[in-house]
Amino acid sequence: MNTPEVTLKSLDTLWFQVGGTVCNLACTHCFVSCSPTNHTHEFLTLAEVRRYLDEASRLGVREYYFTGGEPFLNPEMEAILEATLAVGPATVLTNGLLLDPARCASLKKLAAAAEYSLDVRVSVDGYDAESNDAIRGAGTFERILVGARNLHEAGLNPVITVTEVCREAITDSGKEKFFALLRSMGIERPRLKVLPVFQIGAEAERGGAYESWQHLKEEDVPEGGWDHLQCSSCRMVTDQGVWVCPILVNEPSAKMGETLADTLGAFPLGHSACWTCHVYGVSCRT
Amino acid sequence: MPEKLTAHRGLATWGERLVPLATFRQAAAEAGLTLTPEEREAALRDYGAPVFDPTPIEGPYSRIAVFGGVYSNHYALAEVLEEAARRGAEAIYCLGDLGAFGPNPEKVWPLLVQGKVLAIQGNYEESLASGREDCNCGYTDPRDNHFAEISYRYTAQNSSPEFKAWMGTLPRRRRVRVGNRELLLVHGSPRRVNEFLFQSTSPVPFLEVLLDQNRCDGILCTHTGLHWHRRLPSGREVVNAGVIGRPANDGNIHVWFAMLEAREEGLGVELLPLRYDHAGLAAEMRRERLPEEFVETVLTGWWTTCLEILPARERAASRF
């Protein structure tokens, strides 16, 4: 095996698997196979997040991202965001189902009180119910849009996140359809983030797993090195420790340590998902 | 066994397999490094260690003027040179991006030379001097990139080889002493020419580490188009000088620059609005058939392009 290694250039982005792998949905393309019964990773507590925020401040982390599972299932989520916004900008990735008007109002309050930006990303997998519900579950399209609209009405402009399971989202005309949908909801400045799929977890069952050639080799190292990979500037905290990136949390071998200090070294790009990040130029950041 | 990976019923997902929770947790507990407390402390210390920088130190001055992003706005450039002289600047620094948006890029060249402006390269100068096909602005949105391309193509076509070669001779960073403070002047950030340091996404702990690593008392930057100043708990300063090329997306037609002076208590930082002949600029842009979107920004003070890169907070304050 000649697996290339990526070095950590600077720890700019720290992720928290704040909702664990627990989700109120069980999307068929979820690369971490989240569901109501997946307790591979559990919720992070405010105390745990604080411990990592302290360490992250010493390392000069630039921004914080929260995902799951569904972050808003975590009963401490708003307190966690408040603690985070005291030290840096925060982005939450949510499925939108728990974004009722009261929740959106308190998020807006947090954003208004903070010195740093708060962004909310809402996932949807099609611009109509038929395509979205096939992936995210029956009836979810309408509920997601209600959540997005609640955010908008509270004065927060969501970033709509779509995966390439929706093939049209790759093209400009396909993106236009999402923009049109959002504008029809009164969101005048629609924002869209499109992510490729990782053929692991539930998605491996839905769309097929990686083939053996889909691996990075030493000779794949680009001229500028691996700095374009997010693992050159990020780490992921879960209740089980610190992982290399947000994608590989269901691979114990991708765990790098218990504290951030443990994880400042290099990581072997041995997983097929690393190939996707390289070939598609993936960043999970907004 | 459940059929679907999403039907765990108490099992854990390990790649494409389902395993007992205890098995996954055990494997995770054994994976990765667990450094000793001393090793952790050393790792954290090494991480923030300063990087060697051979940039010579200029000055010391007691008062300097600093501006960013000229964007071919020779009207504002002429104005800022006069204003800096009026305010007693002993040296005038430009943080790069001489071209973009505006008309007739070469007009700024004699002004910079005659005004003895000490400039560094922005991403525009790097791209033009090296013959890159794009401005390397760092945009991610297709509409932003569309307008960035128009402006870069126009600037590249209307800049002489001599002007482009001159851009390539400019340093990428400068170190300047004002009083007893050593300031690092960069275009985007000390790390990357096109890194965006917006106020709402440049947190204090991040900036403190950046200053530690670059061993300086202050950083001056531009690239975002929006000016801000943060005095850090350590007493050091980070100043985004903004740009004189276009207004700051706040509905006002003026542009911004910075004055820095040595004071007894440390460094005095002033961000100052600058009026210029914006109607003259708009007319010249129209004569050059530059996009009406660019002209609108000059006339209204609101950005119409390059908006998607704005963080949530800055975007919320924006009209479009």
Of B133, B188, B122, nearest to B156 by C-alpha is B133
Number of domains composing chain A = 1
Give A60's contacts in chain B (Cβ within 8 Å). Answer: 48, 205-210
B1 in a domain, yes or no? no
The ipTM, to two decimals, is: 0.95
* Digit-coded pLDDT (tens) for A234-268: 999 999 999 999 999 999 999 999 999 999 999 99
Report pLDDT for B2.
45
d(CA B257, CA B84): 9
Determine, yes or no, domain membership for A181: yes
Is any Cβ of chain A less than 8 angstroms from the Cβ of B314?
Answer: yes
Q: Is residue B66 part of a domain?
A: yes
Query: Which CATH number fits the domain that encloses residue B269?
Result: 3.60.21.10
- pLDDT of B42 reads 95
Domain carrying residue B86: 59-316
* Cβ within 8 Å, pair A116-B203: yes
Judge whether residue B3 has pLDDT over 60.
no
Using the predicted structure, report yes or no on whether residue B8 has a pLDDT greater than 90.
Answer: no
Domain-embedded: residue B143:
yes
CA–CA dist A200, A206 (Å, integer): 10
Going through B68-157 in order, the beta strands assigned E by DSSP cover 91-94, 118-119
Query: What was the pLDDT predicted at B1?
Result: 40
Query: In this structure, is residue B28 part of a structural domain?
Result: no
A122/A27 Cα distance (integer angstroms): 14
Which residues between 10 and 29 in chain B have a beta carbon less than 8 angstroms from any beta carbon of chain A? 10, 12-16, 21, 24-25, 27-29
Tell me how many domains chain B contains. Answer: 1
Which positions in chain A touch B136 (Cβ < 8 Å)? none
| Angstroms from A165 CA to nearest CA on chain B | 17
**Dist CA B227 CA B236 (whole Å):** 17
Cα angle A220, A193, B314 (rounded to 5 degrees) comes to 115
What is the arithmetic mean of pLDDT over A55-69? Answer: 97
Confidence of residue A215 (pLDDT cuts 50, 70, 90): very high
* Chain center to CA of A121: 9
Section A182-201 average pLDDT: 91
CA distance A254 to A32: 13
Please report whether residue B50 resides in a domain.
Answer: no
B90 lies in a domain? yes
Token code pair at residue A93: 């990735």
CA distance linking residue A216 with residue A185, whole number of Å:
43
pLDDT-based confidence at residue B17 (cuts at 50, 70, 90) = confident
Structure tokens at A155: 């004065």
Residue B139 lies in a domain: yes
Q: Which residues contact A190 (CB under 8 A, 6 or more apart)?
A: A160, A178, A179, A182, A183
The span from the CA of B196 to the CA of B222, in Å, is: 8
Is A30 in contact with B28 (Cβ distance < 8 A)? no
Alpha helices in A119-271 (DSSP H): 129-136, 140-154, 172-184, 202-207
Does residue A285 form part of some domain? no
Q: What's the pLDDT at B142?
A: 79
Closest CB to B203 among A28, A88, A264 = A88
Domain that holds residue A275: 5-280
- Those residues whose C-beta lies under 8 Å from the C-beta of residue B254, and which sit 6 or more positions away, are B247, B273, B274, B275, B276, B301
Number of cross-chain residue pairs from A and B with Cβ atoms under 8 Å apart = 171
At A177, which CATH number?
Answer: 3.20.20.70
Chain A residues within an 8 Å CB radius of B204: 87
Using CA atoms, how far residue B105 sits from B102, B284, B285, in Å, is: 7, 12, 11
How far apart, in whole angstroms, are the C-alpha atoms of residue B211 and residue B237? 9
